[in-house]
Amino acid sequence: MLQNSPELKSKIDQLWNKLWSGGISNPLTAIEQITYLLFMKRLDELDQKKQADAEFTGEKYTSKFEGRWIPPEYRAKVREGDTQGETDKKLADDKMYEIEKRSLRWSEFKHMQAEDMLQHVQGKVFPFLKDLNGAESNFTHHMKNAVFIIPKPALLVEAAKIIDEIFEVMERDSRVNGQAFQDIQGDVYEMLLSEIATAGKNGQFRTPRHIIKLMADLVQPQLGHKIADPACGSGGFLLGAYQYIVTQLAIKAGTINLVPDEDGFVRTSVAAALTEKSQAILTSSLWGYDIDATMVRLGLMNLMMHGIDEPHIDYKDTLSKSYTEESEYDIVMANPPFTGSIDKGDINENLQLGTLKPSC
Protein backbone atom coordinates (compact mmCIF):
# COMPACT_ATOMS: atom_id res chain seq x y z
CA MET A 1 0.00 0.00 0.00
CA LEU A 2 0.97 3.66 -0.33
CA GLN A 3 2.14 3.85 3.28
CA ASN A 4 5.22 1.97 2.04
CA SER A 5 5.83 4.49 -0.76
CA PRO A 6 6.15 7.99 0.71
CA GLU A 7 7.02 9.44 -2.69
CA LEU A 8 3.86 8.06 -4.28
CA LYS A 9 1.71 9.23 -1.38
CA SER A 10 3.30 12.68 -1.65
CA LYS A 11 2.44 12.88 -5.35
CA ILE A 12 -1.18 11.91 -4.65
CA ASP A 13 -1.42 14.58 -1.96
CA GLN A 14 0.11 17.11 -4.34
CA LEU A 15 -2.47 16.28 -7.01
CA TRP A 16 -5.31 16.50 -4.49
CA ASN A 17 -4.10 19.90 -3.27
CA LYS A 18 -3.84 21.23 -6.83
CA LEU A 19 -7.49 20.43 -7.52
CA TRP A 20 -8.55 21.80 -4.13
CA SER A 21 -6.76 25.11 -4.69
CA GLY A 22 -8.08 25.15 -8.28
CA GLY A 23 -11.67 25.32 -7.05
CA ILE A 24 -12.66 21.63 -6.94
CA SER A 25 -13.16 21.19 -3.21
CA ASN A 26 -15.88 18.50 -3.08
CA PRO A 27 -14.03 15.20 -2.43
CA LEU A 28 -16.29 13.09 -4.66
CA THR A 29 -16.03 15.58 -7.52
CA ALA A 30 -12.26 15.77 -7.16
CA ILE A 31 -11.92 11.98 -7.14
CA GLU A 32 -14.07 11.72 -10.26
CA GLN A 33 -11.97 14.26 -12.15
CA ILE A 34 -8.71 12.63 -11.11
CA THR A 35 -10.09 9.24 -12.10
CA TYR A 36 -10.92 10.45 -15.58
CA LEU A 37 -7.34 11.67 -16.02
CA LEU A 38 -5.93 8.39 -14.70
CA PHE A 39 -8.13 6.54 -17.20
CA MET A 40 -6.91 8.64 -20.11
CA LYS A 41 -3.29 8.00 -19.16
CA ARG A 42 -3.72 4.27 -18.46
CA LEU A 43 -5.75 3.69 -21.62
CA ASP A 44 -2.91 5.05 -23.75
CA GLU A 45 -0.23 3.07 -21.93
CA LEU A 46 -2.15 -0.21 -22.01
CA ASP A 47 -2.89 0.21 -25.70
CA GLN A 48 0.77 0.80 -26.52
CA LYS A 49 1.78 -2.24 -24.46
CA LYS A 50 -0.76 -4.46 -26.22
CA GLN A 51 0.46 -3.22 -29.59
CA ALA A 52 4.06 -4.05 -28.66
CA ASP A 53 3.04 -7.49 -27.35
CA ALA A 54 1.10 -8.22 -30.54
CA GLU A 55 4.08 -7.28 -32.70
CA PHE A 56 6.30 -9.58 -30.64
CA THR A 57 3.94 -12.58 -30.66
CA GLY A 58 2.52 -12.06 -34.13
CA GLU A 59 -1.03 -11.95 -32.79
CA LYS A 60 -3.55 -9.53 -34.25
CA TYR A 61 -4.47 -6.48 -32.21
CA THR A 62 -6.53 -3.47 -33.24
CA SER A 63 -5.56 -0.34 -31.36
CA LYS A 64 -8.30 1.64 -29.65
CA PHE A 65 -6.66 4.68 -31.23
CA GLU A 66 -6.60 3.39 -34.79
CA GLY A 67 -8.72 5.11 -37.43
CA ARG A 68 -11.25 7.87 -36.91
CA TRP A 69 -13.99 8.51 -34.38
CA ILE A 70 -17.24 10.44 -34.73
CA PRO A 71 -18.91 11.79 -31.57
CA PRO A 72 -22.29 10.06 -31.01
CA GLU A 73 -24.28 13.28 -31.45
CA TYR A 74 -22.91 13.73 -34.97
CA ARG A 75 -23.26 10.17 -36.22
CA ALA A 76 -25.55 9.72 -39.19
CA LYS A 77 -28.93 8.32 -38.29
CA VAL A 78 -29.73 6.58 -41.55
CA ARG A 79 -33.36 5.45 -41.61
CA GLU A 80 -34.86 2.61 -43.58
CA GLY A 81 -37.03 4.95 -45.66
CA ASP A 82 -34.21 7.34 -46.61
CA THR A 83 -33.45 7.81 -50.28
CA GLN A 84 -29.93 7.11 -51.51
CA GLY A 85 -29.37 10.86 -51.78
CA GLU A 86 -30.44 11.43 -48.17
CA THR A 87 -28.21 8.59 -47.02
CA ASP A 88 -25.21 9.89 -48.96
CA LYS A 89 -25.69 13.39 -47.52
CA LYS A 90 -25.86 12.10 -43.94
CA LEU A 91 -22.71 10.04 -44.42
CA ALA A 92 -20.94 12.99 -46.02
CA ASP A 93 -21.94 15.21 -43.10
CA ASP A 94 -20.44 12.59 -40.77
CA LYS A 95 -17.00 13.13 -42.22
CA MET A 96 -17.08 16.78 -41.17
CA TYR A 97 -16.92 15.67 -37.54
CA GLU A 98 -14.42 12.81 -37.84
CA ILE A 99 -11.55 12.93 -35.37
CA GLU A 100 -8.23 11.12 -35.75
CA LYS A 101 -8.21 8.71 -32.81
CA ARG A 102 -4.45 9.06 -32.52
CA SER A 103 -4.91 12.67 -31.41
CA LEU A 104 -6.93 11.41 -28.43
CA ARG A 105 -3.94 9.64 -26.88
CA TRP A 106 -2.58 11.05 -23.64
CA SER A 107 0.92 10.98 -25.11
CA GLU A 108 -0.29 13.21 -27.96
CA PHE A 109 -2.44 15.84 -26.27
CA LYS A 110 -0.23 16.34 -23.20
CA HIS A 111 2.20 18.31 -25.37
CA MET A 112 -0.44 20.85 -26.42
CA GLN A 113 -0.53 24.42 -25.20
CA ALA A 114 -2.68 24.84 -22.09
CA GLU A 115 -5.74 26.45 -23.74
CA ASP A 116 -5.69 23.99 -26.64
CA MET A 117 -5.30 21.03 -24.30
CA LEU A 118 -8.30 21.97 -22.17
CA GLN A 119 -10.53 22.44 -25.22
CA HIS A 120 -9.28 19.18 -26.75
CA VAL A 121 -9.85 17.13 -23.58
CA GLN A 122 -13.26 18.66 -22.85
CA GLY A 123 -14.59 18.48 -26.40
CA LYS A 124 -12.96 15.35 -27.81
CA VAL A 125 -10.96 13.14 -25.44
CA PHE A 126 -13.54 12.94 -22.64
CA PRO A 127 -16.49 12.24 -24.98
CA PHE A 128 -14.35 9.49 -26.56
CA LEU A 129 -13.70 8.03 -23.11
CA LYS A 130 -17.43 7.98 -22.31
CA ASP A 131 -18.12 6.18 -25.59
CA LEU A 132 -15.19 3.77 -25.21
CA ASN A 133 -16.96 0.44 -24.69
CA GLY A 134 -19.75 1.04 -27.18
CA ALA A 135 -23.28 2.32 -26.83
CA GLU A 136 -24.61 -0.88 -25.26
CA SER A 137 -22.05 -1.28 -22.47
CA ASN A 138 -22.85 -0.79 -18.79
CA PHE A 139 -19.88 1.58 -18.47
CA THR A 140 -21.07 3.83 -21.30
CA HIS A 141 -24.60 3.86 -19.88
CA HIS A 142 -23.46 5.13 -16.48
CA MET A 143 -20.94 7.56 -17.96
CA LYS A 144 -23.68 9.23 -20.01
CA ASN A 145 -24.19 12.08 -17.53
CA ALA A 146 -20.55 12.37 -16.48
CA VAL A 147 -18.93 15.76 -16.99
CA PHE A 148 -15.33 16.93 -17.16
CA ILE A 149 -15.20 20.08 -15.06
CA ILE A 150 -11.54 20.95 -14.59
CA PRO A 151 -12.05 24.67 -15.24
CA LYS A 152 -8.61 26.14 -15.87
CA PRO A 153 -6.05 25.32 -18.59
CA ALA A 154 -3.14 25.73 -16.16
CA LEU A 155 -4.77 23.36 -13.66
CA LEU A 156 -5.16 20.65 -16.31
CA VAL A 157 -1.52 21.01 -17.38
CA GLU A 158 -0.32 20.78 -13.77
CA ALA A 159 -2.57 17.78 -13.04
CA ALA A 160 -1.36 15.98 -16.18
CA LYS A 161 2.26 16.59 -15.18
CA ILE A 162 1.71 15.15 -11.70
CA ILE A 163 -0.10 12.11 -13.12
CA ASP A 164 2.85 11.45 -15.45
CA GLU A 165 5.12 11.61 -12.39
CA ILE A 166 2.81 9.24 -10.48
CA PHE A 167 3.02 6.69 -13.29
CA GLU A 168 6.82 7.00 -13.38
CA VAL A 169 6.96 6.19 -9.66
CA MET A 170 4.52 3.29 -10.09
CA GLU A 171 6.58 1.81 -12.92
CA ARG A 172 9.79 2.14 -10.90
CA ASP A 173 8.22 0.56 -7.81
CA SER A 174 6.89 -2.25 -9.97
CA ARG A 175 10.39 -3.00 -11.30
CA VAL A 176 12.25 -2.60 -8.01
CA ASN A 177 9.79 -4.32 -5.67
CA GLY A 178 8.41 -6.91 -8.06
CA GLN A 179 4.86 -5.78 -7.34
CA ALA A 180 2.33 -5.99 -10.17
CA PHE A 181 1.73 -2.58 -11.75
CA GLN A 182 -2.00 -3.25 -11.53
CA ASP A 183 -1.75 -3.68 -7.75
CA ILE A 184 0.13 -0.40 -7.38
CA GLN A 185 -2.40 1.35 -9.59
CA GLY A 186 -5.17 -0.04 -7.40
CA ASP A 187 -3.36 1.27 -4.33
CA VAL A 188 -3.27 4.76 -5.85
CA TYR A 189 -7.01 4.63 -6.37
CA GLU A 190 -7.54 3.34 -2.83
CA MET A 191 -5.64 6.37 -1.55
CA LEU A 192 -7.94 8.68 -3.49
CA LEU A 193 -11.03 6.89 -2.23
CA SER A 194 -9.83 7.18 1.37
CA GLU A 195 -10.72 10.87 1.15
CA ILE A 196 -14.38 9.81 1.15
CA ALA A 197 -13.93 8.49 4.68
CA THR A 198 -13.21 11.98 5.97
CA ALA A 199 -15.96 13.57 3.90
CA GLY A 200 -18.93 11.39 4.84
CA LYS A 201 -21.09 13.13 2.26
CA ASN A 202 -24.59 11.73 1.65
CA GLY A 203 -23.78 8.67 3.75
CA GLN A 204 -20.80 7.69 1.62
CA PHE A 205 -18.48 6.36 4.29
CA ARG A 206 -15.79 4.01 3.06
CA THR A 207 -15.36 0.68 4.85
CA PRO A 208 -11.76 0.24 6.09
CA ARG A 209 -9.81 -2.36 4.12
CA HIS A 210 -8.96 -4.49 7.18
CA ILE A 211 -12.70 -4.86 7.90
CA ILE A 212 -13.29 -5.89 4.29
CA LYS A 213 -10.45 -8.42 4.60
CA LEU A 214 -11.96 -9.84 7.81
CA MET A 215 -15.37 -10.30 6.18
CA ALA A 216 -13.84 -11.95 3.13
CA ASP A 217 -11.96 -14.37 5.40
CA LEU A 218 -15.17 -15.16 7.29
CA VAL A 219 -17.36 -15.90 4.25
CA GLN A 220 -14.55 -17.51 2.18
CA PRO A 221 -15.91 -16.78 -1.32
CA GLN A 222 -15.03 -19.30 -4.01
CA LEU A 223 -14.74 -19.14 -7.79
CA GLY A 224 -18.26 -19.60 -9.17
CA HIS A 225 -20.06 -17.99 -6.24
CA LYS A 226 -22.37 -15.15 -7.23
CA ILE A 227 -21.49 -12.29 -4.89
CA ALA A 228 -23.43 -9.07 -4.34
CA ASP A 229 -23.14 -5.82 -2.44
CA PRO A 230 -26.54 -4.03 -2.39
CA ALA A 231 -24.98 -0.74 -1.20
CA CYS A 232 -21.60 -1.05 -2.88
CA GLY A 233 -20.30 2.53 -2.95
CA SER A 234 -16.81 2.39 -4.44
CA GLY A 235 -16.88 -1.43 -4.64
CA GLY A 236 -14.62 -2.25 -1.70
CA PHE A 237 -16.40 -5.46 -0.66
CA LEU A 238 -16.53 -6.73 -4.23
CA LEU A 239 -12.80 -6.10 -4.55
CA GLY A 240 -12.20 -7.83 -1.22
CA ALA A 241 -14.00 -10.94 -2.49
CA TYR A 242 -12.15 -10.69 -5.80
CA GLN A 243 -8.74 -10.46 -4.12
CA TYR A 244 -9.56 -13.31 -1.73
CA ILE A 245 -10.51 -15.61 -4.62
CA VAL A 246 -7.46 -14.60 -6.68
CA THR A 247 -5.20 -15.32 -3.71
CA GLN A 248 -6.70 -18.78 -3.20
CA LEU A 249 -6.27 -19.56 -6.90
CA ALA A 250 -2.66 -18.36 -6.75
CA ILE A 251 -1.96 -20.66 -3.80
CA LYS A 252 -3.52 -23.62 -5.63
CA ALA A 253 -1.40 -22.78 -8.67
CA GLY A 254 1.73 -23.08 -6.53
CA THR A 255 2.61 -19.40 -6.34
CA ILE A 256 5.16 -18.79 -3.59
CA ASN A 257 6.30 -15.77 -1.57
CA LEU A 258 2.79 -14.37 -1.15
CA VAL A 259 3.34 -11.60 1.40
CA PRO A 260 0.31 -9.81 2.91
CA ASP A 261 0.26 -6.02 3.17
CA GLU A 262 -0.57 -4.13 6.37
CA ASP A 263 -4.30 -4.72 5.82
CA GLY A 264 -3.84 -8.45 5.28
CA PHE A 265 -4.35 -8.51 1.51
CA VAL A 266 -1.89 -10.62 -0.45
CA ARG A 267 -0.36 -8.79 -3.40
CA THR A 268 -0.26 -11.12 -6.38
CA SER A 269 -0.40 -10.58 -10.11
CA VAL A 270 -3.83 -11.46 -11.47
CA ALA A 271 -2.16 -12.97 -14.53
CA ALA A 272 -0.36 -15.46 -12.28
CA ALA A 273 -3.58 -16.72 -10.74
CA LEU A 274 -6.32 -16.48 -13.38
CA THR A 275 -6.78 -18.36 -16.60
CA GLU A 276 -8.94 -16.71 -19.24
CA LYS A 277 -11.82 -19.00 -18.23
CA SER A 278 -11.54 -18.30 -14.50
CA GLN A 279 -11.23 -14.56 -15.17
CA ALA A 280 -14.49 -14.69 -17.15
CA ILE A 281 -16.24 -16.65 -14.38
CA LEU A 282 -15.02 -14.28 -11.69
CA THR A 283 -15.94 -11.14 -13.62
CA SER A 284 -19.50 -12.42 -14.07
CA SER A 285 -19.76 -13.29 -10.37
CA LEU A 286 -19.46 -9.80 -8.84
CA TRP A 287 -22.56 -7.59 -8.66
CA GLY A 288 -22.96 -4.21 -7.00
CA TYR A 289 -25.74 -1.65 -6.66
CA ASP A 290 -25.91 1.89 -5.32
CA ILE A 291 -28.39 4.78 -5.28
CA ASP A 292 -25.73 7.44 -5.87
CA ALA A 293 -24.86 7.88 -9.56
CA THR A 294 -21.42 9.27 -8.73
CA MET A 295 -20.59 6.26 -6.57
CA VAL A 296 -21.74 3.92 -9.33
CA ARG A 297 -19.21 5.53 -11.68
CA LEU A 298 -16.48 5.42 -9.04
CA GLY A 299 -17.25 1.78 -8.30
CA LEU A 300 -17.12 0.86 -11.98
CA MET A 301 -13.81 2.64 -12.46
CA ASN A 302 -12.36 1.23 -9.24
CA LEU A 303 -13.00 -2.34 -10.38
CA MET A 304 -11.69 -1.52 -13.86
CA MET A 305 -8.54 -0.07 -12.29
CA HIS A 306 -8.05 -3.45 -10.61
CA GLY A 307 -8.31 -5.37 -13.89
CA ILE A 308 -12.04 -6.16 -14.12
CA ASP A 309 -12.80 -4.86 -17.60
CA GLU A 310 -16.62 -5.03 -17.58
CA PRO A 311 -17.85 -4.72 -13.98
CA HIS A 312 -21.49 -5.33 -13.08
CA ILE A 313 -22.34 -2.26 -10.99
CA ASP A 314 -25.68 -0.55 -11.50
CA TYR A 315 -27.79 2.30 -10.20
CA LYS A 316 -30.52 0.67 -8.11
CA ASP A 317 -32.30 1.13 -4.78
CA THR A 318 -32.21 -2.36 -3.28
CA LEU A 319 -34.62 -1.38 -0.48
CA SER A 320 -37.35 -0.16 -2.82
CA LYS A 321 -40.38 -1.90 -4.29
CA SER A 322 -38.70 -1.91 -7.69
CA TYR A 323 -36.09 -4.39 -6.44
CA THR A 324 -37.70 -7.82 -6.64
CA GLU A 325 -34.78 -10.26 -6.89
CA GLU A 326 -34.85 -13.19 -4.48
CA SER A 327 -32.30 -15.95 -3.86
CA GLU A 328 -30.11 -14.62 -6.66
CA TYR A 329 -26.78 -14.63 -4.82
CA ASP A 330 -24.61 -17.09 -2.93
CA ILE A 331 -22.96 -14.38 -0.83
CA VAL A 332 -24.00 -10.86 0.14
CA MET A 333 -21.33 -8.58 1.62
CA ALA A 334 -22.40 -5.08 2.63
CA ASN A 335 -21.96 -2.16 4.97
CA PRO A 336 -25.31 -0.29 4.86
CA PRO A 337 -25.19 3.53 4.85
CA PHE A 338 -25.41 5.13 8.28
CA THR A 339 -26.78 8.54 7.32
CA GLY A 340 -29.82 9.76 5.43
CA SER A 341 -33.38 8.45 5.44
CA ILE A 342 -35.72 6.56 3.12
CA ASP A 343 -39.26 7.07 1.87
CA LYS A 344 -41.62 4.78 3.80
CA GLY A 345 -43.97 4.48 0.84
CA ASP A 346 -41.23 3.10 -1.39
CA ILE A 347 -39.89 0.42 0.95
CA ASN A 348 -40.12 -3.13 -0.37
CA GLU A 349 -43.00 -4.86 1.41
CA ASN A 350 -40.83 -7.93 2.04
CA LEU A 351 -38.49 -5.88 4.21
CA GLN A 352 -39.49 -5.35 7.83
CA LEU A 353 -37.85 -2.20 9.20
CA GLY A 354 -38.22 -0.89 12.74
CA THR A 355 -37.02 2.57 11.79
CA LEU A 356 -36.64 4.68 8.67
CA LYS A 357 -33.33 6.17 9.78
CA PRO A 358 -30.05 4.23 9.96
CA SER A 359 -28.50 3.95 13.39
CA CYS A 360 -25.42 2.37 14.90
Q: Whole-angstrom Cα distance, residue 360 to residue 344?
A: 20
Grouped pLDDT means (10 residues each) for the chain, 360 residues: 71 90 87 90 87 85 90 70 65 76 96 97 94 81 92 96 92 72 68 62 63 92 94 89 87 71 59 72 90 88 80 85 77 78 66 57
- Count the Cβ atoms, other than its own, within 10 Å of residue 105: 21
Q: Which whole-number Å values give the CA distances from 315 to 30, 212, 290, 302, 350, in the listed order?
A: 21, 22, 5, 16, 21
Note the pLDDT of residue 201.
46
pTM, entire model? 0.76
Note the pLDDT of residue 125.
96
201-340: CATH homologous superfamily? Vaccinia Virus protein VP39 (3.40.50.150)
- Is the CB of residue 5 less than 8 Å from the CB of residue 169? yes
